Structure 1
Amino acid sequence: MKKYVRTIFEWGILIVIAWVLSFGIRTYILDTRIVPTGSMLPTIQLQDRLIFDKLFFRYDTLERGNIIMFTASEGSGEHDDLVKRIIGMPGETLEVRESKVWIDGQALAEPYLKDAPDYEYGPIEIPEDSYLVFGDNRNNSKDSHVWGFVPKENVEGRVLLRYWPLEQWGSLD
């Protein structure tokens, strides 16, 4: 009988340790998301599963083109974590016209787009410690052109890789 009690106790300890490790990793280091919308087509497909770096990106510089997970700004009407691409960096002047994004007067090359934007936006100067983010499916994405800037503190992680479907496994860069 003592042997069974000891085995149950040991299994209980292992389960608690596994749960604590899992909780800590998902809360502070890595997290996963299933993409529910087509706003990032063709780069990210509906129901793709992504792994996000929630820790190490904070010690690196976010760059134009990074795909990030963030909470939308207050007043945006969005309540879930969102996934979009950084297009505008702090201090830049951005404008969407002639079906292109213009940054400080230069057209941005965007080979990842589903379709060129069919709207005009700006010109607008991006505040320090904020980003302007757009979906790759520009004409079917609720993004910064609808609800504004993403403050740096709202960025929760940067996409590391797609892990599902398996045939699409790998980096999104």
Structure 2
Amino acid sequence: MEDKIQEKQKNELVEWIKAIVFALLVAFVIKQFLFTPVLVQGASMMPTLEDKDRVIINRIGPKFKSIDRFDVVVVENVLLNKKEENIIKRVVGLPGDKIEYKDDQLYINGEKFSEPYLDQYKKELKDTGSLTYDFTLDQNLGKTTVPEGQYFVLGDNRRVSNDSRNPEVGFIPKERIMGTTSIICWPIEHIDFSFN
């Protein structure tokens, strides 16, 4: 009788171990290939994202649909200050776009575009300067349009953002985009399920 009890306990333990291993495997697959939490570092996406916010990136979306203008993306392994980092930026230029900023206004292919996500920052400026300095792709990167298969990204905090305007960062190849994000999951007071 005691042998049966021990055998039953052993079988239960094996089943629990299998269930735990399966759960860990599922969690690993989801984190690696579907949805991944990422820590925001720095102030380059303020006020949209603040330093130490945690966002969830959708890793599978960009594999099945196009990346849209104004999507917030996580880009992996950008060489900044001689070390590789992941960065979070907003897609402003799509392949083939001609990008220009003049008098704090975005022009894409000669057409004026509004950027409502910058309105709060523009109102909070303490000086009379512009949030985004004037530039053209040609001036900064030596190209008149965004190359095929690449994107032009900017941080929302334009005065401090190290982004595609900097030749060190430049255009971002699609394969370096880990995923898109529109969910802040931490801290509690910043939780937002569609900040875009």
Fold shared per TM-score above 0.5: yes
CA displacement 1:9-44 (0-9 Å, x = unmatched): 122111110111011111111111121211100011
Q: Which residue of 2 aligns with 1:89?
A: 94
Q: Which residue of 1 aligns with 2:137?
A: 122
Alignment CA distance shift 1:144-1:72 (3 Å): farther
Instruction: Say if 2:48 is the partner of 1:43.
Output: yes
Instruction: Say if 2:87 is the partner of 1:67.
Output: no
* Distance in 2, Cα, partners of 1:56 & 1:118: 32
Q: Is the 8 A contact 2:57 2:181 kept in 1?
A: yes
1:3-152 pair list within 5 angstroms: 3-73=8-78, 77-113=82-118, 114-115=121-122, 116-118=131-133, 120-123=135-138, 124-146=144-166, 147-152=169-174
Deviation, 1:86, is 0.2
* Distance in 2, Cα, partners of 1:49 & 1:156: 15
Q: Which residue of 2 aligns with 1:162?
A: 184
Normalised to the residue count of structure 2, the TM-score between the two structures is 0.80
Q: Is the 8 A contact 1:41 1:136 kept in 2?
A: yes
Unaligned runs of 5+ in 1: none
Deviation, 1:119, is 5.1
Deviation, 1:79, is 1.6
Moved more, 71-80 or 19-28: 71-80
* Distance in 2, Cα, partners of 1:170 & 1:107: 28
* Distance in 2, Cα, partners of 1:104 & 1:78: 34
Alignment CA distance shift 1:72-1:99 (3 Å): farther
* Distance in 2, Cα, partners of 1:22 & 1:142: 33
Q: Is the 8 A contact 1:73 1:149 kept in 2?
A: no
Q: Is the 8 A contact 2:99 2:145 kept in 1?
A: yes
* Distance in 2, Cα, partners of 1:96 & 1:90: 17
Q: Which residue of 2 aligns with 1:2?
A: 7
* Distance in 1, Cα, partners of 2:53 & 2:16: 34
* Distance in 2, Cα, partners of 1:36 & 1:12: 37
Deviation, 1:61, is 1.7
Alignment CA distance shift 1:159-1:106 (3 Å): same
Unaligned runs of 5+ in 2: 1-5, 123-130, 139-143
RMSD over aligned Cα atoms: 2.0
Deviation, 1:47, is 1.5
Q: Percent identity?
A: 29
CA displacement 1:30-68 (0-9 Å, x = unmatched): 111121211100011222111111113321121111001
Larger radius of gyration: 2
Q: Is the 8 A contact 1:86 1:134 kept in 2?
A: yes
